[in-house]
């Protein structure tokens, strides 16, 4: 249950003075429908209204609050488009106030001739004449306190002006009640942070421009609160998972020794280190939950196979969950080649399998005949029963949520946690690893296997497309196969598809039936068939949208052409480039850019030319584009941060992680004074899954 002290924060915005259904609907679009949402809707700038010069002293456009005497009203004819003008003056000069489409009677009452008024707004100079269009404030002199000296500027939505937004959020801040301090006092003293309610008030009533920056003291304090809530929730989940009784699975040696002897290469240092970490986990009496991060071509599959062979050596079964059928079939082929002669039975199950053949496979699975099962999410459907599943590998972890992990857990022996090894080929900066995968231990494959040749990467204008086609012809004559990736069109699959089809038709006119097309709208079987023809060498060019970025392995493909490369993020370009350079032949990648490049796009393409290290690329991508973009917002699994920003506050993440770990070591149930206050923090930032875990665990 949410603590009672937080009830005011979760009240609807409609409970605030002056917020009717229409304004509430507009607020919901830009911030949310609760008072809490308005508190997290931070200002981005300020308007300083403190300047009050004489009219004669105004030499440039500025925002000012001035005392004037109202003069003559120039009323425009009823149907005229001319503005309504009011001439005003002080002892030193004149100014005209301009109103478009005004209610005349209203302006007459607001600005009666001969009376003094205070006006505040932006003063402009037009034809050497001072003017102010639609002043922000017009008040009698005695109501001066109605004009704020400094006004916060908020992100807006249609139907709400800046003035109204500032007033409503001001009302929301009044509803916020002080909360007991959950922060360690020594940290507050060291960082010079204000208390929570004080930080909130400073953030929404800034006294200068510095106080609206993300790195101001008040905003940093609030960001730390949110990051701490996130890290605390992840750490609770991690601890509860670790509590699950696992199996002690030790390396017996037979299968693993045989595999290592028959591999045509030695493991890299990073592979040996990662496998050692996995071995240690599997020998523990608690369940393993580990993430294996490896760049394209760093050899994750071998490490995952070694881990699964530990399970098989211990008389249990293992499974691999892949995001697509293409990838599942590829794993099936690769693992069968690697385990040739080891006597390990590997099977594949996808949504395609039906009828008798599917039933035969399920019978073999339940009898223990199958050692390793590979497949898409079909492998954890209700009727798929294992004899003794003890370990699961999840490939491309960011495509699967926690829910699927739990589904997989349920396939193991009741009461015993399953060892889970998640893999991702998307290199993620360390800061993001902590926020997205904080409930897992992490191993990194940061070396390439020996013998992989660097990919020659070039950047070229799309206007030279005819030269590119001629170069493609020469490459094909020399036996090359080519991936030709078409541009992303602002998250629109329909337009992506149109671009790909147009390029496909163009290339068919030149290369005939040697060109294939794959895109996200095709049925799985159609896609697989085209990919298979490309892999078999029946097609020379594969035109594709980004569906090929994950895991497709055609060692004979040595050329990657990416159109409008400036529209892709660095990590995505890196993933695509990783599709070539997988065989013995020299490979190249051509990044074609459209019209004038922005500075940011130029920087991205230069980084691609300079390095093939996915982790460096991911860190640069984070700096250039921000967190949601690095992981691809659609499937990022990124926690929704409201106040914190991973770009501005990444230094706080490891601080919060250590804080969360230490706290839970000393106070695992959060039952101390500070622990109880931290529970309030978890509810405030809606990380209450952490509290639920505490109760259930």
pLDDT tens readout for residues 28-40? 888 888 999 999 9
Q: List, in sequence order, every beta strand (DSSP E) within 534-579.
A: 541-544, 557-562
Query: Per the domain annotation, does 662 fall within a domain?
Result: no
Q: Give the residue ranges of DSSP H helices in 192-268.
A: 196-204, 217-243, 254-262
Nearest to 290 by CA among 304, 305, 302: 304
Are 17 and 37 in a shared domain?
yes
Q: Is the pLDDT of residue 637 over 50?
A: no
Burial (CB count within 10 angstroms: exposed 0-12, middle 13-18, buried 19+), residue 208: exposed
Q: Where residue 509 falls among pLDDT bands split at 50, 70, 90?
A: very high
Same structural domain, 133 and 25: no
576: how many CB neighbours lie within 10 A of its CB?
23
Whether 637 is in a domain gets the answer no
DSSP H/E element including 574: helix 570-577
What is the domain-level CATH number for residue 297?
3.40.50.300
**Does 582 lie in the same domain as 474?**
yes
179 and 60 inside one domain: no
pLDDT of residue 75: 79
User: Mean of the pLDDT values across residues 321-344?
Assistant: 87
Say whether both 42 and 55 belong to one domain: no
| Residue that terminates a domain, selected from 611, 626, 654 | 611
DSSP 674: H
Could you give the dihedral angle defined by the CA atoms of residues 137, 139, 141 and 143, in that order, rounded to the nearest 10 degrees? Answer: -100
| Residues 37 and 83 both lie in one domain | no
Query: Which SS3 state, helix, strand or coil, does residue 350 take?
Result: coil
Does 54 share its domain with 38? no
Give yes or no for residue 456 having a pLDDT over 80.
yes
Which domain-ending residue is among 611, 631, 650?
A: 611
Residue from 285, 584, 248 nearest 449 by CA: 584
Residue 645 belongs to a domain = no
Structural domain contains residue 237: no
Q: What is the pLDDT of residue 549?
A: 47
Measured between alpha carbons, how far is 437 from 424 in angstroms, rounded to an integer? Answer: 11
Residues 23 and 72 in one domain: no
Number of folded domains in the chain? 4
Indicate the residue among 102, 117, 147 that finishes a domain: 147
Top mean-pLDDT range of 2-16, 190-204, 229-243, 511-525: 190-204
Residue 185: domain span: 4-46+167-212
CB neighbour list of residue 574: distance below 8 Å, 6 or more residues apart:
296, 427, 608, 612, 614, 617, 618
Q: For 157, phi and psi rounded to 5 degrees? A: -135, 160
In-domain check, residue 223: no
Q: Say what the pTM is.
A: 0.68
State how far the Cα of 610 lies from the Cα of 606, in Å rounded to an integer: 6
Mean pLDDT to the nearest integer, 119-133? 90
- The answer as to whether 187 is a domain residue is yes
Mean pLDDT of the chain: 83
Task: Tell me: do 59 and 40 sit in the same domain.
Answer: no
């Amino acid at each position: 249950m949410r603590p009672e002290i937080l009830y005011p924060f979760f009240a609807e915005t409609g409970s605030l003075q002056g917020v009717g259904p229409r304004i509430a609907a507009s607020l919901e679009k830009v911030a949310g429908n609760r008072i809490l949402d308005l508190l997290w809707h931070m200002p981005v700038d300020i308007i300083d209204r403190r300047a009050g010069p004489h009219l004669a002293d105004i030499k440039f456009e500025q925002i000012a609050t001035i005392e004037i005497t109202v003069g003559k009203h120039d009323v425009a004819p009823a149907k005229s488009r001319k503005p309504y003008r009011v001439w005003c003056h002080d002892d030193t000069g004149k100014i005209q106030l301009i109103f478009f489409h005004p209610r005349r009677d209203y302006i007459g009452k607001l600005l009666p001739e001969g009376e003094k008024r205070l006006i505040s707004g932006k003063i402009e100079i037009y034809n050497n004449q001072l003017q102010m269009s639609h002043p922000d404030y017009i008040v009698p002199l005695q109501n001066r306190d109605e004009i704020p000296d400094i006004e916060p500027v908020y992100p807006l939505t249609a139907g709400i002006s800046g003035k109204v937004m500032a007033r409503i959020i001001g009302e929301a801040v009044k509803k916020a009640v002080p909360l007991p301090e959950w922060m360690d006092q020594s940290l507050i003293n060291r960082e010079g942070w204000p208390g929570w309610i004080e930080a909130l008030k400073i953030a929404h009533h800034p006294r200068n421009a510095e106080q609206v920056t993300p790195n101001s003291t008040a905003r940093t304090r609030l960001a730390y609160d949110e990051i701490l809530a996130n890290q605390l929730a992840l750490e609770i989940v991690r601890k509860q998972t670790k509590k699950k009784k696992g199996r002690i699975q030790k390396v017996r040696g037979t299968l693993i020794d045989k595999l290592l002897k028959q591999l045509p290469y030695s493991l890299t240092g990073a592979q040996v280190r990662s496998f050692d970490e996995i071995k240690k986990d599997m020998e523990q009496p608690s369940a393993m939950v580990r993430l294996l991060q490896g760049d394209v071509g760093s050899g994750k599959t071998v490490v995952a196979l070694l881990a699964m062979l530990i399970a098989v050596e211990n008389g249990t079964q293992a499974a691999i969950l892949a995001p697509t059928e293409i990838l599942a079939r590829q794993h099936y082929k690769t693992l069968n080649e690697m385990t040739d002669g080891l006597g390990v039975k590997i099977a594949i199950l996808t949504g395609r399998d039906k009828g008798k053949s599917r039933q035969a496979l399920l019978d073999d699975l339940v009898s223990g005949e199958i050692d390793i099962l590979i497949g898409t999410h079909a492998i954890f459907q209700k009727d798929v029963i294992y004899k003794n599943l003890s370990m699961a590998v999840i490939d491309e972890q960011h495509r699967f949520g926690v829910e699927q992990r739990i589904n997989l857990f349920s396939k193991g022996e009741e009461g015993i946690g399953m060892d889970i090894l998640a893999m991702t080929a998307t290199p993620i900066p360390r800061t993001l690893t902590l926020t997205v995968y904080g409930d897992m231990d992490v191993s990194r494959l940061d070396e390439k296997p020996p013998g992989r040749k660097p990919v020659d990467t070039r950047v070229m204008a799309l206007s030279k497309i005819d030269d590119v086609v001629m170069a493609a012809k020469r490459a094909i004559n020399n036996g090359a196969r080519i991936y030709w990736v078409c541009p992303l069109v602002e998250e629109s699959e329909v337009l992506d598809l149109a671009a790909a089809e147009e390029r496909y038709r163009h290339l068919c006119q030149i290369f005939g039936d040697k060109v294939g097309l794959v895109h996200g709208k095709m049925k799985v079987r159609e896609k697989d068939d085209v990919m298979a023809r490309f892999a078999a060498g029946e097609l020379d060019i594969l035109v594709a949208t980004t569906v090929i970025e994950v895991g497709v392995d055609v060692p004979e493909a040595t050329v990657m052409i990416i159109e409008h490369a400036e529209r892709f993020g660095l990590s995505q370009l890196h993933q695509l480039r990783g599709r070539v350079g997988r065989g013995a032949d020299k490979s190249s990648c051509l990044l074609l850019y459209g019209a004038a490049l922005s500075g940011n796009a130029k920087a991205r393409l230069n980084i691609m030319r300079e390095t093939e290290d996915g982790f460096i690329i991911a860190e640069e991508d984070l700096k250039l584009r921000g967190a949601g973009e690095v992981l691809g917002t659609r499937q990022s699994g990124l926690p929704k941060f409201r106040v914190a920003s991973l770009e501005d506050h990444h230094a706080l993440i490891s601080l919060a992680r250590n804080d969360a770990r230490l706290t839970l070591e000393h106070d695992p149930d959060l039952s101390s004074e500070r622990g109880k206050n931290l529970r309030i923090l978890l509810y405030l930032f809606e990380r209450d899954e952490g509290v639920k875990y505490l109760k259930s665990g």
